Structure 1
Amino acid sequence: MNDTSKLHDKTSTIILTTALILVAMLYLFPLVWFVLSSFKPGSELFSYPLSILPENATVQNYLDAWTSLDFVKYFTNTMKSSVITTILTVIASATCGFAFAKYDMKWLKFFFVCIIATTMLPTEVIMNPVFTVIRKLGLYDSLAGIIIPSINTATGIFMFRTFFVSIPDDLIESARIDGASDGTIFMKIMLPIAKPIIMTLSIFSFQWRWNDYIWPLIVLNDPKKYTFQVAIRSLVGAENVNWTVLIAASVISIIPLVLVFIVFQRYILDSGATTGMKD
């Protein structure tokens, strides 16, 4: 019976591993094709039959993309908006999540439900009123105009609120007995414990802001203030598209996202998430 159970577990492991490998390949294949296509000359890009590997690989596409766009300026603009928004998003989401999780007030519960309800609204629905507010505040055509509306996210608040609810209230009460204020509890106890959530939301927020196209396109008018995604759109002409340059520039644009994920992903499943708590 024991041998049968082991054989069953081994078979299940093999099947699940094979399934995961197949799913990973389905997600990875378009990205690999995309990156390899960036090394193809224009004559090969749409040749038939299609080939994955470039026959005459070239880096000229990247050189043309680099000279076509002011990468340093657009990278700087995008990095500023992405990093600042990510930091402010984490702070706002953590404070709101802590309040919703640990303060027992009926109006807070109602307010939380209202925030979560906004996730059912398409982004396009609220763009018009948000744009009106941005213009009234004099933030049109500025990086602040794309940063401020993006700080509060229902997803981030929900993540922190769910995590803080799982932390025993005894830990907070013990700190209060020792004379700690709510600010001290939040900064010195709750935030260190929530490090995996902070890192996860940081990755998501940076990715959202880096890839954001519609809102910067609406708010920004000066080409010198364009973010990277809007600048790439300028490569698309009215009558023709230089696909080799466009693909190469797009590959360059995903490099920061890959680096951010590599650096921070090891913190997501940090075992220190239960620090300070007992079973």
Structure 2
Amino acid sequence: MTAAWTSITGRTPAVGSVVRTGVLVFGAIVVVAPLIWAALSSFKTPAELAAQPPTLFPRHPTFDNYTTGLAAFDFPRYLANSVIVTAAATALTLLVNSMAAYALAKYNFRGRDLLFLITLSTIMIPLQVILLPVYQVVSSLGMTNSLLGLIIPPAATPTGVFLLRQYMLTLPDETIEAARIDGAGEFTIFWRIVLPLCRPALAVLAIFSVIWRWNDFLWPLIVAQDESKQTLPVAIARFSGQQAIPFDQILAVSVVSIAPVIVIFLILQRQIISGLVRGAIR
């Protein structure tokens, strides 16, 4: 690695730089390797999946796993449920968290810091502790076995409030005051000035929310007991719970289910990096 870097740049890299690069490359391989293996294995036959020793590349690639797996259960319905829940929950999360973050960052009122600390402390509460009371509230409102029961409860997240608040603290107060002097209302300032300036942070929260909602399993499993309201993770788990587990088809369906998240991340990666860096600097 050192010789290759020297031949390209004409400079000898420092030992620390080589070590950091090596650690980062190793970490990237560890993270990406299971995804690559799953994608390649989704084109293998059942016999090749069970072969010992295992192979990385399929000897006889086939698309039968995708056609059979997608036709084995009502995949379009579960995909539509996941898309609706993820899109609606993400939009609601961005709206609710940005409004709360704006109030905690730019409004001076008594108990503001204490309220923020209480909000932030809820991150330490395990999800299993609040599942029962949240389910009771959802059940009392008649939202069980409905997409609304999957969308509304997780809308407000302390992580999102913290991320957006820290970013909004970097926005100059003079800009907001100038808009107020010009006669702009609070909603106009929030919608036309603050939110456009927070695009990097909103992109970060959006991708986080997409990952959370798209991969969420426990809450949809509890709320959506009707199969017609289930999302992809629950449907795939039910599909893999059969007596004879079709690993080849499960791999194919899993690859299809994770593809949208990867595409969204690739589209928003520049805004994500910008939002994380600016928030960390603050």
The count of aligned residue pairs is 268
SS of the residue aligned with 1:160?
helix
* Residue-by-residue CA offset, 1:173-231 (whole Å, 9 max, x unaligned): 22222222222221111111100011111111011101111101100122111111111
SS of the residue aligned with 1:234?
helix
Indicate the residue corresponding to 2:221 in structure 1: 217
Which of 90, 96, 110 pairs up with 2:100?
96
Aligned-pair distance for 1:143?
0.3
* Residue-by-residue CA offset, 1:236-278 (whole Å, 9 max, x unaligned): 235331111111111110111112112222333469x99xxxx
| More displaced 10-residue stretch of structure 1: 203-212 or 232-241 | 232-241
Letter of the 1:169 partner, please give it: D
Indicate the residue corresponding to 1:107 in structure 2: 111
Which of 112, 115, 129 pairs up with 1:125?
129
1:64 correspondence with 2:68 = yes
Indicate the residue corresponding to 1:263 in structure 2: 267
Indicate the residue corresponding to 2:5 in structure 1: none
Indicate the residue corresponding to 1:155 in structure 2: 159
Aligned-pair distance for 1:108?
2.7
| In 2: Cα distance, 1:104 partner to 1:9 partner | 50
Aligned-pair distance for 1:47?
1.8
1:4-19 to 2 correspondence within 5 Å? 12-19=16-23
Ranges in structure 2 where 5+ consecutive residues have no aligned partner: 1-9
* TM-score, with length taken from structure 1: 0.89
Ranges in structure 1 where 5+ consecutive residues have no aligned partner: 1-5, 275-279
Aligned-pair distance for 1:153?
0.5
SS of the residue aligned with 2:65?
helix
Indicate the residue corresponding to 1:21 in structure 2: 25
SS of the residue aligned with 2:89?
helix
1:186 correspondence with 2:179 = no
| In 1: Cα distance, 2:13 partner to 2:188 partner | 48
* TM-score, with length taken from structure 2: 0.89
Aligned-pair distance for 1:167?
1.7
| In 2: Cα distance, 1:198 partner to 1:64 partner | 39
1:201 correspondence with 2:205 = yes
Indicate the residue corresponding to 2:245 in structure 1: 241
| In 2: Cα distance, 1:117 partner to 1:214 partner | 22
Aligned-pair distance for 1:115?
1.2
| In 1: Cα distance, 2:173 partner to 2:71 partner | 58
| In 2: Cα distance, 1:106 partner to 1:169 partner | 19
| In 2: Cα distance, 1:63 partner to 1:121 partner | 42
Which of 70, 80, 83 pairs up with 1:79?
83
Letter of the 1:56 partner, please give it: H
Identity of aligned residues (%): 37
| In 1: Cα distance, 2:265 partner to 2:116 partner | 30
CA RMSD of aligned residues (A): 2.1
* Runs of 4+ residues deviating >6 angstroms: none
| In 1: Cα distance, 2:204 partner to 2:61 partner | 37
* Residue-by-residue CA offset, 1:96-143 (whole Å, 9 max, x unaligned): 000001112233322221111111011111000000001100001000
1:53 correspondence with 2:57 = yes
Aligned-pair distance for 1:10?
5.7
